[in-house]
Amino acid sequence: MATGHHLTTQEPQGEVMNYGLNAPHGPDMTGTHPIAVDANPDMTQNEREVFNYLLRPDDSYTENGVYWADLPIMQRIKFVNKVNNIESRRELGAFWTMFKNDPLAPIGFYMRNMVLPGAGLGLEGYVLFSIGNVKPLFQAVFPNCWSKYKVCNKQWIYAVDYLEIIGIIVGQIMVGIIGDWIGRRWGLIQDATIMFTGLIMLTASWGVTQNGWVICYAWSLFFYGIGVGGEYPMTATSGMENAVGSGKVSTRDDRLHRGRKVTSAFLMQGWGQFFNQVILILLLLIFHHGSGNPPYSALAAQWTYRVSFAIPAVGTAWLIYWRTFKVKAAANKQLRIAKAKNAVTGYDTQSLSLCFRYFGGRVLATAGTWYMNDVFFYGNKLFQSEFITVIMPSNKSIMPGWLYNLINVGVSLCGYYLASFLIDNKLYGRKHMMTLGFLMCFIFFVVPAFKYKYYTSPGHIKEFQAMYFLSSFFNQFGPNSVTFIAAAEVYPVAVRATAHGFSAACGKLGALTAAVVYNYLTTPQKFYFVPWFGLADTTGLDLKEQERRWAYIRAGREHEYHGVAVHPKHLSLYERFRGVGKDYNPDLDYKQRVEEMRGEWEMRMSERAAEKELDHEDFDDDHPSEVHSFFARSTKSPNLRGNENEKIPPMNGQNGTNGI
């Protein structure tokens, strides 16, 4: 870099891809200075500071350029706490400024950045768990069909749970592929449209006989479930990519708040459950003449459950409008960039193959832990009626069960929010949150399993209640939140929706396992069955530089990548065992990143020069300008392969900066 031709330090921290574009002449491409900036005695102090500012941000590196995960444990704790304290003060200051300018502005900010991205999951949570909530009402009003099976086929009653889950699995896999093939925005619109149609079917479901109504109801749930399933990969991938980018460009917000943003959208599922239960209680009181006590009329039951489905149908219709006319190019931006880099126009089958080859362990980890978690999660939800029976054995009303469920959902919401606050903490984060969540769920199920009579006796029923509610808290403040974000952030953009959808589908197999097995177990046996699924765990992984590492993998140069994406801290135990982290080398990585920045600058300047030549504004065939001569001279700079007599080639055969 020529003295005096340096970058201004006013550039946004971490926006590496814009490097040099605001400089008068950009970095020196003539090879005057070695790439090893820190080792270059001719490098000015200002130039060295600029490179460190861009490549070694102060939220991840010490003043000496040491990555936070490479620090000894006590220094690491001190560094992380310092960064967290600075960021907390900055956020509180920004909040206070926003509030002073407009007291309602923080609410608008929360709605735009957390509520709207998670609206689909909120509506999904409302309807998905409404099925379990209205079942006790059906059993009370239509006992010959829903509990005694005299006029309805028992298998079709069971199929209500099965078909819903199967529909979700179909949607997760199918829409995950569509999201990577056609785009995130189309997947979002398609999900909302399917859910809207399914809600109309549920609201209007009918039959000549009660059994015919049950069949219509079950298939309506299957169709609705397809849309629900698609919400998982679409919300996770689009929310993450819109909020933090593809991972190729690492920004401060990406590093410090990615998990919170995604989890804040995911927790709308909990609010959906909460509002569903509130609305069901209000509707039953309205249509049952202000009373929640039995006997319940068939008319009151019909109005209660049908109106409860009609309300989210209105919200879903608005969601279709929002996603069609308000969510535009941003939803597909990172996917388009990834496809353009690799000259892919349809589905990137090569990336899918490479993903299973290089990230097969991650696929097993995200899919396996999600399966284990959903046995817990749906086991807890499906266990609600038995829970009420245990604590209120003589109860005949459905209202106490609904009220207890409302408390349970409220406790779960506390877990969701605490997860959003701690999931990005480097000293706690995904790994420890997953481990602690599974461990506590295991304890809160296995303890009453071996002391069932003791904890269900009148003198100890409060302890039983506490353990049941705490299992809900730690499920959200643990595996349920972590599985959702981890299945999106550990995979490259090109196949992120597919991998997330596959992992989520495996999770729903866990839900299906719980739904099937619970039909054949007694209440004490269910306590014995569930806790053992909490003994599996996987190490949380960071999205940092995921796309940059993926570019090397796609180019067949996996071992030439030396960045923090292969730091042992960010690898699973299986990947460490395979030796993936052996290529980590911060010094070599620093040199490579400087070279990549130079290549990116060259590409941008070349594109601008080509545009000017076409317009005949600044370039002339007979009298080339100084900039044109500069680019001609700068094509003989060293590249990643070490060939100093060859122009920097793109890793993937396209115009670009080595595909990074």
CA 119 to chain centroid, in Å, comes to 14
Please give the residue that has the higher pLDDT: either 245 or 609: 609
The string of pLDDT tens digits covering residues 458-488 is 788 888 888 888 988 999 998 899 888 888 8
Q: Which pLDDT band, with edges at 50, 70 and 90, does 69 fall under?
A: confident
Residue identified by tokens 């994406």 is 565
- Which of 534, 564, 598 lies at the terminal end of a domain, its last residue? 534
Query: 334 lies in a domain?
Result: yes
* pLDDT given for residue 224 in this prediction: 94
Burial class (CB in 10 A: 0-12, 13-18, 19+), 539: buried
Please check whether residue 335 lies inside any domain of the structure: yes
Both 338 and 482 in a single domain? yes
Q: Are 438 and 567 part of one and the same domain?
A: no
Instruction: Flag whether 72 is in a domain.
Output: no
Q: Give the count of alpha carbons within 13 A of 526, CB side only.
A: 24
Query: What is the DSSP secondary-structure string of 413-454?
Result: HHHHHHHHHHTT-TTSHHHHHHHHHHHHHHHHHHHHHHTHHH
Residue with tokens 């923080």: 106
Q: Based on the fold, state whether residues 563 and 482 are members of the same structural domain.
A: no
Mean pLDDT calculated for residue range 561-571: 84
Q: Are residues 452 and 413 in the same domain?
A: yes
Residue 515: pLDDT band (50, 70, 90) is confident
Q: What residue numbers bound the domain in which 278 lies? A: 118-534
Instruction: Pick the more confident residue, 611 or 109.
Output: 109
**Locate tokens 């529909």: which residue?**
167
In whole angstroms, how far apart are CA 433 and each of 255, 468, 511?
A: 18, 19, 21
User: What is the mean predicted confidence (pLDDT) over 133-158?
Assistant: 91
Residue 50 CB coordination number (10 Å): 21
Q: Are residues 516 and 558 in the same domain?
A: no
Q: Which residue has the higher pLDDT, 450 or 500?
A: 500
d(CA 205, CA 196): 14
Q: Which amino acid appears at position 482 of this protein? A: V
Question: Using one digit for the tens of pLDDT, what is the confidence trace for 312-327?
Answer: 999 999 999 998 888 7
Quick one: 579 and 472 in the same domain? no
Confidence of residue 529 (pLDDT cuts 50, 70, 90): low
Q: Please tell me the least confidently modeled range out of 285-289, 529-533, 549-553.
A: 529-533
- Report whether pLDDT(551) > 90: no
Please give the mean pLDDT across all residues of the chain.
78
CATH code where residue 333 lies:
1.20.1250.20
Are residues 506 and 376 located together in one domain of the fold? yes
Partners of 386 in the β-ladder: none
Cβ contacts of 360 within 8 Å, gap of 6 or more? none
- Residue 304 within a domain: yes
Three-state DSSP class for residue 67: strand
Weakest-pLDDT range from 286-300, 366-380, 472-486: 366-380
d(CA 84, CA 184): 33
| SS3 state of residue 396 | coil
Phi, psi of 514 (to 5 degrees): -65, -45
Residue 202 shares a structural domain with residue 132: yes
Asked whether residue 579 falls in the same domain as residue 443, the answer is: no
Contact 422, 433 (CB under 8 A): yes
> In whole angstroms, what is the distance from residue 149 CA to residue 146 CA?
6
Tens-place pLDDT, residues 196-236 = 999 999 999 998 999 999 999 999 999 999 998 988 888 88
The C-alpha atoms of residue 568 and residue 115 are separated, in whole angstroms, by 35
CA distances from 308 to 197, 220, 276, 409, 509 (A): 15, 15, 7, 18, 27
| pLDDT of 616 above 70 | no
Give burial (CB, 10 Å; 0-12/13-18/19+) of 233: buried
Distance (Å, whole) CA 486 – CA 496: 11
Same domain as 550, residue 519: no
Which residues pair with residue 61 across a beta bridge?
Answer: 67
Residue 2 neighbours by CB under 8 Å, 6+ apart:
25, 28, 32
536 has pLDDT over 70: no
What is the value of pTM for the model shown? Answer: 0.79
Element holding 287 (H helix, E strand): helix 268-287
105 belongs to a structural domain = no
Distance CA(198)–CA(130), nearest Å, equals: 14
Residue pair 381/468 in contact (Cβ under 8 Å)? The answer is no
DSSP-derived 3-state class of residue 152: coil
Cα of first residue to Cα of last residue in the chain, in angstroms, is 21
Alpha carbons 208 and 151: distance in angstroms, whole number:
12
Q: Which of 186, 162, 161, 164 is nearest to 175 (CA)?
A: 186
**Domain membership flag for residue 648:** no
* Helix/strand/coil (H/E/C) assignment for every residue in 502-562: HHHHHHHHHHHHHHHHHHHCCHHHHHHHCHHHHCCCCCCCCCCCHHHHHHHHHCCCHHHCC
Contact 52, 65 (CB under 8 A): yes
List, in order, residues 6 or more apart from 34 with CB less than 8 Å away: 40
The pLDDT tens digits for 571-601 are 777 788 888 889 999 889 888 888 887 777 7
Contact predicate 53/9, CB 8 Å: yes
In a domain, 76, yes or no: no
Query: If you ran DSSP here, which 8-state letter would residue 31 be given?
Result: S
- Of 314, 272, 233, nearest to 488 by C-alpha is 233
Count CB atoms within 10 A of the CB of residue 502.
23
Question: SS3 string of 213-245?
Answer: HHHHHHHHHHHHHHHHHHHHHHHHHHHHHHHHC
The contacts of residue 117 (CB under 8 Å, 6+ apart) are: 235, 238, 239, 242, 243, 261, 265
Q: Look at residues 520, 544, 490, 244 and name the one whose alpha carbon lies nearest to residue 367.
A: 490
Per the structure, how many domains does the chain have?
2
pLDDT at 381 over 70: no
No. of H helices and E strands in the chain? 27, 0
Residue 88 in any domain: the answer is: no
* Whether residue 131 sits in one domain with residue 242: yes
Retrieve residue 558's tokens. Answer: 């996996």
Q: Find the radius of gyration of the CA atoms of the chain.
A: 28
Pair 577, 435 in one domain: no
C-alpha–C-alpha distance, residues 654 and 373, integer Å: 42
* pLDDT value of position 331: 58
Q: What is the share, in percent, of the chain residues with pLDDT greater than 90?
A: 29
